[in-house]
Structure 1
Amino acid sequence: MDQVKSRLRLLNAIMADVATLSCARCSKPANLQCPKCVELKLPREDAAFCTQDCFKASWSSHKSVHLKAKQSNGAGNPENEGWQYCLKKGQGRTPKLPYFDWTGTLRPYPISSKRVVPAHIDLPDWAADGIPKEEPSSDLQRVVEIKTPDQIERMRETCRIAREVLDAAARVIRPGITTDEIDRVVHDATIAAGGYPSPLNYHFFPKSCCTSVNEVICHGIPDARKLEDGDIVNVDVSVFYKGVHADLNDTYFVGNVDEESRRLVQCTYECLEKAISIVKPGVRFREVGEVINRHATMAGFSVAKSYCGHGIGELFHCAPNIPHYARNKAVGVMKAGQTFTIEPMINAGIWRDRMWPDGWTDVTADGKRSAQFEHTLLVTETGVEVLTARLPSSPKVYPWLDA
């Protein structure tokens, strides 16, 4: 009996202590705690929630706290170790990787130190600690924003900078250059224009752009691997400037590329162009996937299904979601003033994907190649404006455009 009373007193003390805490999301009195935070022995004030609904609504950002704690308790400070670890999962990207059933010939290489951002650059809210604050709980995850004229002008300016940054990267692509050197060019060009490279430290992503080589569908991490003659590489650039984001990418040929890869890249380019051609007020978002899927399958290729286009503006990612495959269930219709990306990922083989142990690099399940193109778009009263369109000064790298 004494033992039971002792446990009851302990439980009452714990409940009384928890009841004095405030919800980490809405600041109401909290009586629930995140079990993972308890397991990791994190401060109770960071782990308290008033209801299960608040906990679920905060999960996408709150879970980053667990990753950060694991990294601090594990391999020391990754930044001091030259960022040899992918900060998303804390997994090593050195030759001492765990066993993994690689789908293709590509392998991870070491990652260089985090690049410096000068003090005068305006920062997004994840720049310091890797955790987006506003984005996960914003109403714009459910409602598609109609941009104001001021927002549209700022997006035009930011998108032009992003195009110039991507063009700078395109000019240095050749056999023998590393994807880390491409990242340096992207980072320096973004900073020189007064912008911040949006991917840097976004959910702990360690670099300033994504470089996806050969079988990588998307989110490849720039590293020390040298590009080889015959590779294809996608460079995905995002810029934060004057409070808004721009997002675009192109896939490039490295040296002499085989005919099948050239056909894949051209087909992917055409998929994006055909999708853009239907954008105007009144068109359903789901129709984008129908157009892309039809063109890709007619050419004998498949459409990756794990990633989609997204709304963009003062938030990096928000509504609407725009799938690129057929028979999707995207909700809503296009309206003037909306801004979003379309970014089809087309595979030479099957559409299925696999994730590398680093938690970012997504590859084709059969190891065959994948290509991608992306633009940020503005729906106008009469059609569409491609905010990240190529400039007269953009490198001439696609034979079908020259023709």
Structure 2
Amino acid sequence: MPIVLKSPAEIERMATAGALLTEVMDQVAAAVRPGVTTAELDRIAREGILERGAKPAFLGLYGFPASVCASPNEVVVHGIPGEKPLREGDIISIDAGLFYQGYAADMARTFPVGRISEEAARLIRVTEESFWKGFEAARPDARLGDVSYAIQRHVEDAGFWVVREFVGHGIGRQMHEDPQVPNFGRPGVGPKLRPGMTLAIEPMVTLFTAPVVVLDDGWTASSGRGNLAAHYENTVAITESGPRLLTGRR
């Protein structure tokens, strides 16, 4: 499918959607603590989205049964919220999306649950840093491979592993549009970045190299016991003056 370029007015609508989703993620972040269940975090997100006049984007998407993906510890993405309480020392990735006035926003964060190990904290930090490396590379007339390479290089320089099985994506009137946005690749290749492109850039990183396996529920994607995973995502617009953050804060 062709890459859909957005008008400045459409990007403003997406920025409004992104600001609402950022508020919801803040609510979820404030609730993360030992003893809370991921089902409760899902409820907080769903109610926060609806209270803002928006629609949960994930609920029912391809049959997904919840409003957020809640992925603890070795789960990379697409964890289904449930009733098992989080424990001190866990990490939890929350991926959330919404539709507002016909446009989507998508973001993910990995949060510590109480006090976590130095290794887990470094994994979370490097994953976030790698997003910003990709963001800075997302300039008009650059290539998509420049973004992918910037993310991969930062992660691998830190001694971690970039997940290959899942990638970012275009976003707009649909949650998933072209192009795919890998977190690994070669500079100078791929589609040229043009003003009006809107992308969900989302590094997914694990402690060490391992295949990601989807469990029997058809959703939960695990990197294997003991192999912690972190996820950091924002919706980004390419503009004449450079990349523009549509979710989150810098």
TM-score (norm 1): 0.60
In 2, Cα distance between equivalents of 1:366 and 1:208: 26
Tell me the amino acid that sits aligned with residue 291 of structure 1: A
Q: How does 1:253-268 map to 2 (within 5 A)?
A: 253-268=112-127
Q: Which has the higher contact order (CA 8 A, sep 6+)?
A: 2
Shift of residue 389 of structure 1? 2.6
Matched-pair contact (CA < 8 Å) for 2:56–2:98: yes
In 2, Cα distance between equivalents of 1:209 and 1:305: 22
2:48 to 182, 185, 189: 189
Q: How does 1:79-228 map to 2 (within 5 A)?
A: 142-228=1-87
2:167 to 308, 329, 347: 308
In 2, Cα distance between equivalents of 1:332 and 1:326: 12
The answer as to 2:152 corresponding to 1:299 is no
In 2, Cα distance between equivalents of 1:200 and 1:229: 28
Q: 1:330 to 1:170 in 2, by over 3 A?
A: farther
Shift of residue 388 of structure 1? 0.5
In 1, Cα distance between equivalents of 2:184 and 2:161: 9
Shift of residue 153 of structure 1? 1.8
Tell me the amino acid that sits aligned with residue 301 of structure 1: F
Greater strand percent: which structure?
Answer: 2
Tell me the amino acid that sits aligned with residue 389 of structure 1: G
In 2, Cα distance between equivalents of 1:247 and 1:277: 19
Instruction: Tell me the SS of whatever aligns to 2:174.
Output: coil
Instruction: Tell me the SS of whatever aligns to 2:104.
Output: strand
Matched-pair contact (CA < 8 Å) for 2:142–2:188: no
Shift of residue 290 of structure 1? 1.1
In 1, Cα distance between equivalents of 2:231 and 2:92: 9
Matched-pair contact (CA < 8 Å) for 1:303–1:351: no
1:61-82 alpha-carbon deviations (Å, 9 max, x no partner): xxxxxxxxxxxxxxxxxxxxxx
Percent of aligned positions that are identical: 37
Tell me the amino acid that sits aligned with residue 271 of structure 1: S
The answer as to 2:206 corresponding to 1:380 is no
Q: 1:330 to 1:359 in 2, by over 3 A?
A: farther
Q: How does 1:237-256 map to 2 (within 5 A)?
A: 237-256=96-115
In 1, Cα distance between equivalents of 2:187 and 2:96: 27
2:92 to 216, 233, 244: 233
Matched-pair contact (CA < 8 Å) for 1:305–1:351: no
Shift of residue 287 of structure 1? 1.5
In 2, Cα distance between equivalents of 1:235 and 1:270: 17
Q: 1:330 to 1:318 in 2, by over 3 A?
A: farther
Shift of residue 327 of structure 1? 4.0
In 1, Cα distance between equivalents of 2:121 and 2:113: 11
Aligned-pair RMSD on alpha carbons? 1.5
Number of residue pairs the alignment of both structures matches: 250
Shift of residue 366 of structure 1? 5.5
In 1, Cα distance between equivalents of 2:27 and 2:147: 30
Tell me the amino acid that sits aligned with residue 207 of structure 1: A
In 1, Cα distance between equivalents of 2:231 and 2:223: 13
Instruction: Tell me the SS of whatever aligns to 1:189.
Output: helix
Shift of residue 278 of structure 1? 1.1
Matched-pair contact (CA < 8 Å) for 2:143–2:188: no
1:52-109 alpha-carbon deviations (Å, 9 max, x no partner): xxxxxxxxxxxxxxxxxxxxxxxxxxxxxxxxxxxxxxxxxxxxxxxxxxxxxxxxxx
Larger radius of gyration: 1
Shift of residue 210 of structure 1? 0.5
Q: 1:287 to 1:249 in 2, by over 3 A?
A: same
Shift of residue 298 of structure 1? 1.2
Shift of residue 331 of structure 1? 2.8
1:352 to 197, 211, 223: 211
Tell me the amino acid that sits aligned with residue 154 of structure 1: R
1:321 to 180, 193, 196: 180
In 2, Cα distance between equivalents of 1:330 and 1:367: 35
Matched-pair contact (CA < 8 Å) for 2:72–2:79: yes
Shift of residue 329 of structure 1? 10
In 1, Cα distance between equivalents of 2:130 and 2:190: 21
The answer as to 2:133 corresponding to 1:278 is no
Instruction: Tell me the SS of whatever aligns to 2:133.
Output: helix
Q: 1:239 to 1:232 in 2, by over 3 A?
A: same
TM-score (norm 2): 0.97
Shift of residue 150 of structure 1? 2.6
Tell me the amino acid that sits aligned with residue 68 of structure 2: C
Shift of residue 390 of structure 1? 2.1
Instruction: Tell me the SS of whatever aligns to 2:20.
Output: helix
Stretches of 4+ aligned residues off by more than 6 angstroms? none
Instruction: Tell me the SS of whatever aligns to 1:238.
Output: strand
